[in-house]
Amino acid sequence: MDRTVLIIEDEKLIIVSTQMVLESVGFQVESATDGEEGIKKAKEVKPDLILLDIMMPGIDGWETLKRLKRDPDTQAIPVVIFTAREHARGHQKSAEMGAAGYFRKPFEPDELIELVEKHVGQKV
């Protein structure tokens, strides 16, 4: 059974490093470099989990999350906020908006794998 993670992130280096870690343990990884592309890809691919950056060009991660959770095609996909910013308000806001979690980058590979394993298969 393919387990697919969609990374919506504008930094290519982070996409590549995240992809390498996840593929090393058997995940299939798709990516998008902005919110609009990410929403489109989420509808096409129907991933098991979305890792979503907040600060991106075009629509930011919050708006992307809002649109994903409003759309019947994507609302059941767990979304983890994937950000370099760490503050209590971000955790609270992400939970209020329906995100499954909040994960800080840069990351330790083992922590990323653990997070993804925890959330994959938890479609609502």
Q: Which domains does the chain have, with CATH numbers?
A: 4-84+99-118 (3.40.50.2300)
**Cα–Cα distance list, 57 to 66, 81, 92 (Å):** 16, 16, 23
Q: Is the pTM of this model over 0.75?
A: yes
CB 65 within 8 A of CB 79: yes
Provide the mean pLDDT of the chain.
91
pLDDT digits (tens, 9 = 90+) for 97-121: 999 998 888 889 999 999 999 998 5
Q: Which residue has the higher pLDDT, 2 or 51?
A: 51
pLDDT digits (tens, 9 = 90+) for 47-98: 999 999 999 999 999 999 999 999 999 999 999 998 887 666 788 889 899 9
- Asked if the model's pLDDT at residue 2 lies above 90, the reply is no
